[in-house]
Structure 1
Amino acid sequence: MFRTFESLKLSVLGAAACLVLASCAQQPSAPASTTPAPPPAKASSGGAAAAPAAAPAAAPAADAVDPEVLKALDRMSAYLRTLTSFQVDTYSLTDDALDNGQLAQLGRTARLKVRRPDGLQVELNNDRGDRNVLYYNGKTASIYSPRTKYYATVPAPATLKEVVGVLTEKYDIDVPAADLFSWDSGKMDPAAIKSASYLGVAAVDGHLTDQFAVRQADVDWQIWIERGSTPLPRKLVIVTTSDPARPQHTVVLRWNTSATFAPSVFDFKAPAGSHRIAIQRTDGTVENPGK
């Protein structure tokens, strides 16, 4: 299911006030990965990936699934599984359908610091001026708002793949770029893909990539995968086709695959003057601090 922005509300224990962490709002997610490995890239004498032959490929038949696209997705997923410590900076634009059907757009940046299998810190900023930080250390997950000095901490499972699911399903919190962890799991069902085609070579943020278009039930998406020996996803566009307004989510990713972090990066320590509050679960119940 693909959802547009909704505010995360943390109810203050014993008070009517609530903390709205807008920058932790939900974003559409790309379907679980069928790993695309773009057509093999050839290195030029200068070290850059060489563009394919000038003659354009024939347009794919309607609703055709190009097996090379699935291979490209698999190659990308396999490469992501080799990364044990990395940083990803993202910039995203997400449409929200207003009551009158008009689309409103919200921009957001996120910096993810990742250490497999149990370390994650995410700093989120949106164009409304909200800033929030998510911490996960394999035992607990905490969300902190520096502006309000409110935070919530909940028990968490032992791995990144598990915590992303728990935060989404139990607390209605979506981790930015969570698709990375879906692709990493390698659980994509090829039968879910209605069509998949290769669109050609494109430059994204200074990197040569192969662009792919995929269609699934209720969603059309495109992905740009870096050419060569490091098939990183560089850009993603998702359109929710089940919504008449067809809201779109676009994200560009900048990678540092050699980043390393001290364990303390993933541990949340409440700053002086901050206040722990309760968090509301998706079922409407409130989880009190310390429980």
Structure 2
Amino acid sequence: MVSTTSLRTTCAALAFGLACAGLPALAGETEAKDIITAMSEYLGSQTTLSFDYESTVEVITTDAQKLSVTSSGSLAMERPDKLHVSRSGGFAQVAGVFDGKAFTVENLTTKNYAVFDAPGSVEQLVEKLRTDLGLVLPAADLLDADVASQIFAQAKDIKDLGSGVIAGTECDHIAFRADDLDWQLWVAQGVDPYPCRYQVTSRKVDGMPDYTLTVSNWGKGSAKADFAFKPSEGATKVEIKELAGVDEIAGIYVVKGN
């Protein structure tokens, strides 16, 4: 166990070291945009893709304490209109399937499921879920066939911060800003420039909470994905707006009355 005194000393030493070292020399915006473009073209060229993920959502309590809500899951996509996504968290296990006509999502913990009609592509589904239900899919910002155009439309102050290592994979570390968000993106170096991690900081929310998603097992398992929904035994169909507990923030983290 680390004592309070030693922990404070360690934090102070780290802060001093970072302040003295300063940031490394940064590559230009052009180099950073080239990395984002290469990632975007690589992602857009994949007719199928799959990965596992770990996500962390920071929550700021009413007494200004910062807490982390963690989940893990998997995602498989077949362009243009097939998607299978799952998530396991502390309050629920959730699975969703999109077949090009409807997105069906089940809370496997409560055994309730709902169908959301959304004919079209995966990109159209992502936007419709966001605007109609306020529901954001894991890694939704990276599922677009042209991620770069989405980023460049809102990004400013784009920086290449050099290399970083995520789970043993060397990555290019990119940072950029939008109006009220700070983004960091770690892109695998080499022939498969996939996103290893991205982090979004909400600058205008008190406490500046982060959302972080880390990718693993890139490209494995696409062929095994089932894009036809099969409800679990005993599951009950409900209306989509009655389906509770499918968001990453649930349970004790939801303010009563919201």
Give the TM-score category using the shorter length: 0.7 to 0.9
Of 115, 122, 141, 2:85 maps to 122
Partner SS state of residue 129, structure 2:
helix
Residue 231 of structure 2: aligned partner: 270
Asked whether the equivalents of residues 212 and 222 of structure 1 are also in contact (C-alpha less than 8 Å), the reply is yes
Q: Deviation digits for residues 123-154 of structure 1, max 9, x if unmatched?
A: 1111x141010111101111112222111012
Note the C-alpha offset of 1:186.
4.2
* Cα separation, partners in 2 of 1:59 and 1:119, compared to 1, 3 Å: closer
* Cα separation, partners in 2 of 1:242 and 1:257, compared to 1, 3 Å: same
Of 70, 80, 84, 2:47 maps to 84
* Partner Cα separation in structure 2 for residue 110 and residue 258 of structure 1: 14
Asked whether the equivalents of residues 161 and 185 of structure 1 are also in contact (C-alpha less than 8 Å), the reply is no
Matches within 5 A, 1:150-189: 150-182=112-144, 184-188=146-150
Q: Which runs of 5+ in 1 are unaligned?
A: 1-55, 282-291
Matches within 5 A, 1:179-258: 179-182=141-144, 184-188=146-150, 190=152, 192-257=154-219
Alignment TM-score, normalising by the size of structure 2: 0.78
Note the C-alpha offset of 1:235.
1.0
Of 4, 22, 25, 1:58 maps to 25
Residue 279 of structure 1: aligned partner: 240
The one-letter amino acid paired with 1:146 is L
Matches within 5 A, 1:5-154: 58-59=25-26, 66-126=29-89, 128-154=90-116
Note the C-alpha offset of 1:191.
5.8
- Going by fraction, where is helix more abundant, 1 or 2? 2
The one-letter amino acid paired with 1:89 is D
Note the C-alpha offset of 1:250.
1.4
Note the C-alpha offset of 1:259.
3.6
* Cα separation, partners in 2 of 1:164 and 1:209, compared to 1, 3 Å: same
Note the C-alpha offset of 1:256.
3.2
Asked whether the equivalents of residues 98 and 104 of structure 1 are also in contact (C-alpha less than 8 Å), the reply is yes
Q: How many residues align?
A: 220
The one-letter amino acid paired with 2:234 is G
Alignment TM-score, normalising by the size of structure 1: 0.70
Note the C-alpha offset of 1:57.
5.8
Identity of aligned residues (%): 25
* Partner Cα separation in structure 2 for residue 192 and residue 270 of structure 1: 39
* Cα separation, partners in 2 of 1:66 and 1:200, compared to 1, 3 Å: same
Q: Which runs of 5+ in 2 are unaligned?
A: 1-22, 243-258
* Cα separation, partners in 2 of 1:225 and 1:189, compared to 1, 3 Å: closer
Note the C-alpha offset of 1:176.
0.7
* Cα separation, partners in 2 of 1:74 and 1:256, compared to 1, 3 Å: same
Q: Deviation digits for residues 248-289 of structure 1, max 9, x if unmatched?
A: 1111101432543367x11112333211111229xxxxxxxx
* Cα separation, partners in 2 of 1:134 and 1:198, compared to 1, 3 Å: same
The one-letter amino acid paired with 1:272 is E
Note the C-alpha offset of 1:189.
5.9
Note the C-alpha offset of 1:97.
1.7
The one-letter amino acid paired with 2:62 is D
* Partner Cα separation in structure 2 for residue 235 and residue 189 of structure 1: 15
